[in-house]
Amino acid sequence: MYRYQGVSVHLNKFMEHDEQYGVGGNEDAVNVVFGLYADEDIVAADGSGIPEGGLVSVANVGEDMTARFNTMLPFGRYYVQEISTDEKYVISGEKHIVTFEYAGQDTEVVDIDAGEFVNDLVRGSVHGQKVGEHDEPLANAVFGMGITDERITDMTVKELATEWMFICANRIKDSTASNYRMKLNKHILPALGDRNCRELKSRDIYVFMEDKLRSGLSARYVGDIVIIIKSMFRYASREYGIRNALEGIVMPKKRRTEARVFTKDEQQRLSAYISSEQNCTTLGIALSMYTGLRIGELCALQWQDIDIKAKTLTVRKTIQRIQCFDGKQKTRLILTEPKSTNSNRIIPIPDFLIPMINRFKDKESAFVLSGSIKPVEPRTMQNRFKRVLDNAGLPAINYHSLRHAFATSAIELGFDIKTLSEILGHSSVEVTLNRYVHSSMDRKRVCMNLISNVA
């Protein structure tokens, strides 16, 4: 019998490209899905089991040409196999065995490389016979075969964007659609909108990226813009056979910047202010500070989402203001599902917050921050937070720093990464470690002084 431990299994995917006909390429990898299966009957120490051949998890290949399974598993032999692929390719029948062994109690997540998978294009043949006027076979005839797509030769980037957005509209959230339209209207179409899709070259994309970087946009933001163009041209390649000018494009290198987070002293001063000045706003700040709620999730929180008896709160909605493009209004406030499936979660409430929550408990339909059926929007909460910081004699810091501070404090207090990742609503522990966990100088000093033990 086996114990459970966190595991991250990753693989690399490559797709055949036919240069002669301009068919296929690595951009098609995003249509590939892999499965993680048990290669033997596996029984965990708690009695639960996975039968041989049982599907454990599925993962899609991302823009970076990798797929990753992040889960908790009992130790044993597993294998990775392709479940589905792009319609232009033959599904790979390869099975890559991965052996999951105990890595010790100090290891939160075991990282396993499942290797590389390659898909070959589906190929066929065309045959016929050359005949004369009276159907007699003719010898020595020479034929050629090519691709023609004159039907859409004059399609511009703007026309492609319009069609692509129409196709996307029914499968993405309103907030995502608004974000796409904003980036199209503000950045992509002014620079590339009148260009013929077939004439666009990789060099044009690199010039576009360089112009955006020089204008002061961050590498991360420019990368987000280019991802939209990539998606558009994947659609154009699939539907119309247009050569994808973005295949192989190297994204701008992202510079990681350390977020400004609260110091221990600043956290203590803010906590003291919240205790002495209790109201709906400071209650909201306390909830973010001690549960890691995002500002949109906090603004969408209603009293029906808080179970005081069970000491839990449930995140099932978020609020944000998005741009409108219907000409009726510039923006609108939307109440929608959280940003990802993992963001839907139940968070235990620390005991010390219960008295403050009880003090402001209202009817089930009321929003926590407003005490009414009308929510407080994130921008308003940001302004209220700034006033609280000013009244407490603290420097102006972005509201999201409360989430950073919660994650960092949780690590210092001994939270395991898996538990913290689920509380924060992240898709993987890597996101938690890379994005939100910051080591303070005091913590670095304590760790460095441990060297004295071996000096």
* Phi/psi of residue 353, nearest 5 degrees: -85, -15
What's the CA angle centered on 255, arms 250 and 261, to 5 degrees?
Answer: 150
The verdict on 210 and 268 lying in the same domain is no
- Residue 80 burial (C-beta neighbours within 10 Å; 0-12, 13-18, 19+): buried
The verdict on 280 and 172 lying in the same domain is no
Q: Is the model's pLDDT at 243 over the cut of 50?
A: yes
Q: In angstroms, how far is the first alpha carbon of the chain from the final one?
A: 42
The verdict on 193 and 280 lying in the same domain is no
* Residue 299 belongs to domain with CATH number: 1.10.443.10
Last residue of a domain, one of 399, 417, 448: 399
Mean pLDDT of 434-453: 71
Mean pLDDT of 28-48: 80
Structural domain boundaries, residue 86: 4-121
β-strand 33-38 against 55-60: which pairing, if any?
antiparallel
Beta bridge partners of 99: 77
Q: What percent of the chain has pLDDT over 70?
A: 89
Last residue of a domain, one of 240, 275, 295: 240
The total of structural domains in the chain comes to 3
What number of other Cβ atoms are within 10 A of residue 428's Cβ?
19
Last residue of a domain, one of 81, 101, 121: 121
pLDDT in tens, 70-109: 887 788 888 998 888 887 888 888 889 988 877 776 777 7
The verdict on 393 and 269 lying in the same domain is yes
Indicate whether 283 belongs to any domain.
yes
400 within 8 A of 295, measured Cβ to Cβ: yes
The lowest-confidence range among 14-23, 276-285, 292-301, 314-323 is: 14-23
* Residue 100 belongs to domain with CATH number: 2.60.40.10
Indicate whether 138 belongs to any domain.
no
The verdict on 274 and 393 lying in the same domain is yes
Indicate whether 316 belongs to any domain.
yes
The verdict on 189 and 292 lying in the same domain is no
Q: Please give the residue that has the higher pLDDT: either 433 or 348.
A: 348
The verdict on 268 and 384 lying in the same domain is yes
Beta bridge partners of 336: 318
The verdict on 340 and 215 lying in the same domain is no
Structure tokens at 263: 């110091």
Indicate whether 185 belongs to any domain.
yes
Element at 235 (helix H, strand E): helix 219-240
Indicate whether 146 belongs to any domain.
no
155 within 8 A of 195, measured Cβ to Cβ: no
Q: Is the model's pLDDT at 178 over the cut of 60?
A: yes
Indicate whether 209 belongs to any domain.
yes
Closest CA to 306 of 320, 297, 267: 297
Provide CB contacts within 8 A for 40, sequence distance 6+. Answer: 52, 76, 77
Provide CB contacts within 8 A for 271, sequence distance 6+. Answer: 289
The verdict on 42 and 162 lying in the same domain is no
The verdict on 159 and 103 lying in the same domain is no
Q: What percent of the chain has pLDDT over 90?
A: 36
15 within 8 A of 89, measured Cβ to Cβ: yes
Indicate whether 131 belongs to any domain.
no
The verdict on 217 and 335 lying in the same domain is no
Element at 230 (helix H, strand E): helix 219-240
The verdict on 236 and 275 lying in the same domain is no
What number of other Cβ atoms are within 10 A of residue 261's Cβ?
21
Indicate whether 414 belongs to any domain.
no
Q: Label residue 295 by pLDDT band (50, 70, 90).
A: very high
pTM here? 0.57
pLDDT in tens, 116-147: 888 888 877 777 777 777 777 777 666 666 55
* Residue 175 belongs to domain with CATH number: 1.10.150.130
Give residue 431's pLDDT.
Answer: 79
d(C-alpha 434, C-alpha 44), whole Å:
31
